Amino acid sequence: MIVDFKELGISEDLTKLLKRNGIVTPTPVQQQSIGYISSGRDLMAQAQTGTGKTLAFLLPLFEDIDTTKDQVQVLIMTPTRELAIQITNEAEKLREYKDVKILAAYGGKDIGAQLKKLKKSVHMVIATPGRLIDHILRKTVDLGSVKTFVLDEADQMLLMGFRNEIEDILTKIPKSRQILCFSATLDSHVKRMAYRYMDNPITVTVNAKEITLKSIRQNVVESTDRNKSGDLCRVLDEDNPFMAIIFCRTKRRADDLEVVLHKRGYDCQKLHSDVVQAKRERIMKSFRNGDFQYLIATDVASRGLDIGGVSHIYNYDIPESAESYIHRIGRTGRAGEEGYTCLFTDPKDLKQLKAIEESIKFKIPRRKLNGGDHD
């Protein structure tokens, strides 16, 4: 059994830096991936947020980057700005070990500042597809020296319709590149795209159910669309969580719920793709600091959100798949702490609830609300 990062070939200095940051033992996805990435193999990894996948690719890539060369050697693509910011933050922490110049390129950020940075040395680009295509069209970024291309949250990239952009970007990097594909699900669409561009990739699968569910207490509240907001408020009053995320299916649902909760005096803010980028970053910073109690979010906006201290997850709307359910609730129960999640269902959701329970091999206990019948 692997007990530390040195056994995976990570240098002593980088291992010491990780220890100073409280990271001592590699997670399963790190144990299974780092050696293959270091040896230059193409790799497909199925892993949820919270499994340590970001460091699984950042650590070996940092080891490999030659800072004496003034060229982009690593390109990391993500579907959302939030995930790009999170990966950039993780990468910045590693610069204490090696002075890798990092460019974060995503929409909503001042392109002038990005252009200024591109005139200097850049070794690693972390980008969303739209902004990177913008730089390619402006001829402000040269991807001709990229050694490793990382596609993070590949399933969401395809779901959000970025396939053409990905294929266009792939034509701009050398044919002899290494490709790393990380995805919450490795369905046929992801595999088909991956195999089209990858060279005999290694497949790594981390069982998310074991990782995310063992420390999370789960409940279902059987409700109706008409009564759901009232039932949610009763649950929030009973639980009074330290920090909680409330998931909605659509931006409209998130908007409507925020209005309802504000009227009832709950300390909440919403996060979805129509909220302007600068405000999204302020909201995320405030939530991480514990400045407000409830974050109302859609799935796409929440991709990659890894926030310490979230004690409760509420699924106001049932997720579309068991994978999405696991992904949502995996944001609690971190680092040995017990988490709690509550799923609100309407009678029309019973088929989907049954599919989730069959997938996780667990019948989720029903929660009875205090106060008897619905208001």
Examine the domain organization and report whether 196 and 136 are in the same domain: yes
Domain range spanning residue 139?
5-206
Examine the domain organization and report whether 16 and 124 are in the same domain: yes
Distances (CA, A) of 332 to 82, 239, 244, 308: 18, 15, 9, 8
In a domain, 319, yes or no: yes
In a domain, 374, yes or no: no
Examine the domain organization and report whether 220 and 202 are in the same domain: no
Examine the domain organization and report whether 341 and 223 are in the same domain: yes
Nearest to 256 by CA among 317, 321, 183: 317
Q: 157, 174, 206: which is the final residue of a domain?
A: 206
Sheet strand arrangement including 294-298: 216-222, 339-345, 312-315, 244-248, 294-298, 268-271
306: left (phi over 0), alpha (psi -120 to 50) or beta: beta
Q: 206, 233, 251: which is the final residue of a domain?
A: 206
Per-residue pLDDT of the chain (375 residues; tens, 9 = 90+): 566 898 999 999 999 999 888 888 888 899 999 999 999 999 999 887 667 899 999 999 999 999 999 899 999 999 888 889 889 999 999 999 999 999 888 877 667 776 676 667 899 999 999 889 988 998 888 899 999 999 998 888 877 778 888 889 999 999 999 999 998 778 787 888 778 889 999 999 886 555 457 778 999 999 999 999 999 999 999 999 989 999 999 999 999 999 999 999 999 999 987 888 788 888 988 998 889 999 999 876 555 566 777 889 999 999 888 878 887 887 787 655 788 999 999 999 999 999 999 888 889 999 998 764 444
In a domain, 345, yes or no: yes
What's the residue count for the chain?
375
Structure tokens of 175? 């044919």
DSSP 8-state class, residue 7: G
Q: 185, 206, 227: which is the final residue of a domain?
A: 206
Q: How far apart are CA 214 and CA 137, in angstroms?
A: 47
Which CATH number covers residue 215?
Answer: 3.40.50.300
Examine the domain organization and report whether 227 and 338 are in the same domain: yes
The pair phi, psi for residue 125, each rounded to 5°, is -115, 130
Examine the domain organization and report whether 71 and 132 are in the same domain: yes
In a domain, 367, yes or no: no
Residue with tokens 């990894």: 45
